[in-house]
Amino acid sequence: MAIKELKKTVKTTSVKNEPTTTTIEKNVEKFISKGGTLAANISHDDNDHRLTLRIPKFLMDRIDIKRKERVGKISRNLWILELIEKATKK
């Protein structure tokens, strides 16, 4: 069987369909100037307190094992909150 050489064809793109840099900049400025609103569920009256908790990897691995033993999926955050609630009820 003979091997046939393939010829590559070069496709040229039409420049007139591509937006110019100034058109893009104008569209960006137009979009930004429209502004927006805050999400409706954000409230400044929330009683949540957010903090960063550093947990060693070996302990995080044990947490993951324990929460995966439960029926259904549960996030780490919820699992930790449940334990904190349990500990503070005593």
- Looking at residues 31-37, what average pLDDT do you find? 77
CA–CA distance, 67 with 60 (Å, rounded to integer): 11
Q: Where are the domains of the chain?
A: 52-90
Report pLDDT digits (tens) over 40-81.
655 556 677 888 889 999 999 999 999 999 888 889 999 999
Q: Highest mean pLDDT range out of 1-5, 17-21, 22-26, 56-60? A: 56-60
Please say whether the beta carbons of 28 and 37 come within 8 A: no
CA dihedral 50, 37, 20, 12 (to 10 degrees): 70
